Amino acid sequence: MHFLKAPFILFASTSNHPSKTFSFQNERLQNAAQLFPEATLLLEQEKYKESCDLYMQGIFLSRKVVQELQQEQNDLTDDPKLALDWMIESYIQCSKARIAMGDVNTARSDAWAACSFSNNENVDALLCMLTVCELQEDTMGQLQTYKSIENWMKNRDMEELTRSLDKENNETLTLEIICDRIVELTRILDELHDINKK
């Protein structure tokens, strides 16, 4: 059975997991990557604004370099995928910090950026998006995100799911539960549509 940890409504502390490390040759990427562990430490210490400021500083410093790597317009001394993973992870962590601060609108922008750059292939980004949609009571957003999570799960085998997912004691989402919620959200939207037509 496919399973997934639900985000209701916030995230467990990142201190339960080893911090990701990134190393690059490009000077701008180097400088940006050096900010990542410090920002992550601040997030673990619940210094959310300071954490966000560092994550965003790193993103603004080297986002153009990351995009050039994806288009093979750079010298390719760095791994394009690793650079993209760093930027996606920075957006995800920044989104989590903004959620904790109650800045849901900006958290949604960060989650959207992470989903967009990962082509909806990063489950943490999708869970961030699901969380902000829940907080904003955005039924359509929840439905679309559940569908993206469903697609993500269907395209993976059990071994990959086990490697990828957090082991925190949050509510467990199975593929069956996700399908049920898609049906329920679709029903709610249909009912709202019928009411608006009257």
Tell the CATH topology of 3-197: 1.25.40
pLDDT for 189 equals 81
Distance, CA of 23 to CA of 99 (rounded, Å) = 28
The 10 Å CB-count burial string (b at 16+, else e) for 169-179 is ebeebebebbe
Higher pLDDT, 157 or 186: 186
Sorted by where each begins, the domain ranges of the chain are 3-197
pTM above 0.85, yes or no: no
Taking only the tens place, the pLDDT of each residue in 7-60 is 444 443 343 344 567 878 888 899 999 999 999 999 999 999 999 999 999 999
Distance, CA of 91 to CA of 107 (rounded, Å) = 9
Taking only the tens place, the pLDDT of each residue in 56-73 is 999 999 988 888 888 875
